[in-house]
Amino acid sequence: MADIDDQEDQEGFDGSADANGSQVPPGPRNVIIEKIETGFGFNVRGQVTEGGQMKSINGELYAPLQHVSAVLKGGAAEKAGIIVGDRILAV
């Protein structure tokens, strides 16, 4: 599997699947993660300070974003369809 930076550069890359394994259309989507005993089940990484190079995601430009760096197998995030590399636009 390509690492996260490679995924950003691939034209039309999506790679997301919902909890049933169905492909999710590219572009932003709303996801509700319900916390369970083990927490939310994912880790986040990204730029903390303002500025930085704009990123193209599916043809639209975004400021540097937080992204999902790990997902706990069987955790709340995985059940909600979150995968490593997903970008967080808003909370």
Tally the domains of the chain. 1
pLDDT in the model for residue 79:
96
In three-state form (DSSP H/G/I as H, E/B as E, the rest C), the secondary structure along the chain is: CCCHHHHHHCCCCCCCECCCCCECCCCCCCCCCCCECCECCEEEECCCCCCCCCEEECCEEECCCEEEEEECCCCHHHHCCCCCCCEECCC
Per-residue pLDDT for 8 more than 50?
no
pLDDT digits (tens, 9 = 90+) for 41-74: 999 988 655 666 777 778 877 767 788 999 999 9
Q: What is the average pLDDT value for the chain, to the nearest integer?
A: 75
pLDDT digits (tens, 9 = 90+) for 69-88: 999 999 999 999 999 999 88
User: 48: domain CATH number?
Assistant: 2.30.42.10
Q: What is the model's pTM? A: 0.59
Which range marks the domain in which residue 58 is found?
1-91
